[in-house]
Amino acid sequence: MNEILGVFMSEHKIIIDILNLAEDCKALDYLRILKQHNEASFNHSLRVALFSYHIADNFLKGDALDAGLSGLLHDIGKIYISPAILDKEGPLLNYESFLIHSHPVQGEVVLRELGVNDKIRIPALKHHRLSKKPYPSNTKILETDPVDFINVVSAADRGDVILFPRKYNGDNINIEGRVLDEFMGNKEFIRYILINKEKYTKEGLAITNFCKDYIQTKRLS
Ligand SMILES: [Fe+2]
Ligand SMILES: [Fe+2]
């Protein structure tokens, strides 16, 4: 029991450290807005933060907390997308897809206005560029981009889709195979999450539970 508690406590420490970084760059209010706007997207962002941290900790030298922050903020643009669209089950209409596909650009604008640095910010704009059907269509991943971070956050994002499937992914049959097939980035990063699937599923649930109240009560600096 203590061992289990110990694991969860260390996950809490990681997410608290990442939330402190979000507070430092004045993004915490936007996360609170995301939580009120669409709790599923907020919980997804927390898990992507945690998975980004673990992937970076395992594969990159240092920077794991920054990777976690980038993961935490990657979908912040969803505050501008209607929850009716975010939560819609089944296929999206063309205009609904168009609106959803605008969230990377919207998120990048928020983070740019906050003065968030390139390494943290650019994955928000380009985390759907490593897909078989990449978007936004008017962006490309450049050599000068933080390619490692884009890979980490995109893989964490896809890993979360596998561990916590959404209703609009259809029947979710062979979701692991489909997600891996459609991911054009470093597949090792997703496989790392999958190898530790049971552990990260538990930790993902634990941090979303923990943050339910924590984010509201956390004192503004
Ligand atoms: Fe996204
Ligand atoms: Fe996402």
pLDDT of 72-99, one tens digit each? 999 999 999 999 999 998 889 999 999 9
Closest listed residue to residue 149, CA positions, set 75, 77, 68 = 68
Distance 127 CA to ligand 1 centre (A): 6
Q: Which pLDDT score, from 0 to 100, does residue 172 have?
A: 73
Are the CB atoms for 136 and 101 separated by under 8 Å? yes
The yes-or-no verdict on residue 1 having pLDDT over 50 is: no
Q: How far is the CA of 95 from the centre of ligand 1 (A)?
A: 17
State the distance from the centre of ligand 1 to the C-alpha of 4, rounded, in angstroms. Answer: 31
- Name which residue leads in pLDDT, 92 or 5: 92
- Please state the domain count of the chain: 1
Q: How many CA atoms lie within 13 A of 161 on its CB side?
A: 23
What CATH number is associated with residue 130? 1.10.3210
Question: Closest ligand to 101 CA?
Answer: 1
Q: How much is the pTM? A: 0.93
127-137 average pLDDT score: 97
Q: How far is ligand 2, taken at its centre, from the CA of residue 26, in Å?
A: 20
State phi, psi for 134 to the nearest 5 degrees.
-75, 150
Cα of 101 from ligand 1 centre, angstroms:
8
CA of 2 to the centre of ligand 2 (A): 32
Closest ligand, as measured to the CA of 100: 1
Q: How far is the CA of 104 from the centre of ligand 1 (A)?
A: 6
Q: Ligand 2 centre from 153 Cα, in Å?
A: 9
- State which residues form the domain around 54: 2-217
pLDDT digits (tens, 9 = 90+) for 52-72: 999 999 999 889 999 999 999
Quote the CA–CA distance of 79 and 217 in Å, as a whole number. Answer: 21
Q: What's residue 221's pLDDT?
A: 40
